Structure 1
Amino acid sequence: MIAQDDVEFYKENGYLLVKGVYTEQEVEAMRGAIDRIIHRAVEANMDRNARWGGDHTPEEELKRVVLKGYHDVQYHDSAFTLAALHPNMRAVLSRLIGPNVQLHHSKMLVKPPEVGAAFPMHQDYPYFPHESHSMMAGSVHLDDTDEENGCLHVIPGSHKQGPLEHVGRHYLNHKEYPIRMGVPCPAKAGDVLFFNYLTIHGSEVNRSGRTRRNVLFQYRDPLDRPIEDKHVNWGQGLMVCGENPVFRLYKGAH
């Protein structure tokens, strides 16, 4: 699925866009699953706006922006279990992480047309810090994305800086790290952007008339131990590639 040059690019830059990981039919299945999850959340009176607060966005704009986000979507629809274990994903992950790969968690992110909320620049590290920094996101694009509808921006090579201090452990100082500092990563539906959890990234508001839907899978080497018991769920640790070299009982802890 990827060449050695791609592996070297990822190591140097901390991200890699891989095109055509999923077929049109597989993308459509995940789109339908997202629609059904949101519908069930509304019916259960558990719908919510997952946008970030803070001074990174003017107050009046912050009041109107929206982000639909739910974690561990593989527990809600089998389309995401199949996606997380997709042969093309496994082919990439085994080259970028190694022969043994675990799923840490997943989440869906939906930026509605015209009001889809921004994500200020940040590292994912503060949310689930690990010892060896093998943690990697695979951001699955379910719509064509560009700068108009809030595609991801990354700062190449920023993963080499190590963990940085975040505002309230959520995002970096937006004056020091504005989103425009990053390189935009436009993509087509079915493409996947892989990036290390230390790579600085963010995205602008969706100002277009198009929806921007992504599903993000976080993967790690099973020997990479968490520094803190954060972002833990009862199904964590599904083996995606290879084996878990250490036998232990899984009871919902990292």
Structure 2
Amino acid sequence: MISDDLVRAYKRDGVIVVPEVLGSETLSQMRQVVAELVAASSATTTHTDVYDLEPGHTPENPRVRRIKTPHRVHRLFDDIVRSEAVLSILRRLIGPDLRLHGSKLNMKSAHYGSPVEWHQDWAFYPHTNDDVLAIGVLLDDTDLSNGPMLVTPGTHVGPLWSHHGEDGRFAGLIDPDLIRAEIDRAVPCMGPAGSMSFHHVRALHGSALNTSDRPRNLLLYEVAASDAWPLMGVKDFDEFDSRLLSGPSVVAPRMAAVPVRIPLPPPARQGSIYETQSAAKKSYFTKAA
């Protein structure tokens, strides 16, 4: 699925975009599932195990900013990350033995989709080694106007910035004053629907408000080499192994000399990244009114 040049670009920059990995039929099925899930959110007015709601959500006007762990919510999302089209790319980037760490569907509706402040995924779920990445599946045509993910090339081999607030608690974002030069170098992950971005777990990234009249829905999968074990522990080994995408069960983690900060003490506002970041005193992106 990908050329040697793209593999080299990922190693160098920590981010690539592969155009149109998914076909129109699969995209149509996914959009139908997403529409049904959003419609069903009208039955709740608070965050649930499935939904993270936008401010202003009402039963009459449902607004969802995240569907949590979609690979557990509908089989289609699990099938996609296990497809040969996706696995063939992952094997080129992080090796043959793979485990799904998690998934989420970030939804930016027209004119108000919530931004995500600058951060590194590594701060949220450090592992014993950093052969870990996130796949971003573009469910909509994505350009600068509808809030694409922005990633700064080369930061995957740089420092791990503090994601803790002034109170010492994990805040889920970096003080933007510390990374102005890196923000200026960020590049957008854009393309037609069905394209996929792949960014390293230590790559600096964020995304702005959706200012367009079109949605920007981004399905995210976090995938690790199966010998990369989460430093925060494994609560259920059988469930852990159920997320193997390829290769055998592994009980000997591979250790690497990588910078680590544990995301503790826990944030003042726990939940999704939106809730965690909302407690911060500083932000970079403009929020919806």
TM tier relative to shorter chain: 0.7 to 0.9
Q: Deviations over 1:11-68 (max 9, x none)?
A: 11101111111001111111111122223333255454368xxxxxxxxxxxxxx761
Q: 1:41 to 1:235 in 2, by over 3 A?
A: farther
Does residue 240 (structure 1) correspond to residue 237 (structure 2)? The answer is no
The offset of 1:72, in angstroms, is 1.2
**Aligned amino acid, residue 96 of structure 2:** P
Contact 1:153 1:184 in 2 (8 A): yes
The offset of 1:99, in angstroms, is 0.7
Contact 1:37 1:76 in 2 (8 A): no
**Aligned amino acid, residue 175 of structure 1:** D
The corresponding residue for 2:200 is 196
Q: 1:162 to 1:67 in 2, by over 3 A?
A: farther
State the number of aligned residues: 233
Does residue 228 (structure 1) correspond to residue 232 (structure 2)? The answer is yes
* Inter-partner Cα distance in structure 2 for 1:217 and 1:157: 21
TM-score normalised by L of structure 1: 0.84
Q: How does 1:105-184 map to 2 (within 5 A)?
A: 105-167=102-164, 168-177=170-179, 179-184=183-188
**Aligned amino acid, residue 76 of structure 1:** V
The corresponding residue for 1:6 is 6
The offset of 1:123, in angstroms, is 0.3
The corresponding residue for 2:18 is 18
Unaligned runs of 5+ in 2: 56-62, 165-169, 253-289
Identity %: 26
Residue 104 of structure 1: SS of its match in structure 2?
A: strand
The offset of 1:139, in angstroms, is 0.5
TM-score normalised by L of structure 2: 0.74
* Inter-partner Cα distance in structure 1 for 2:200 and 2:123: 13
Contact 2:234 2:240 in 1 (8 A): no
Q: 1:204 to 1:181 in 2, by over 3 A?
A: farther
**Aligned amino acid, residue 27 of structure 1:** L
**Aligned amino acid, residue 41 of structure 2:** A
* Inter-partner Cα distance in structure 2 for 1:236 and 1:68: 27
* Inter-partner Cα distance in structure 2 for 1:48 and 1:233: 27
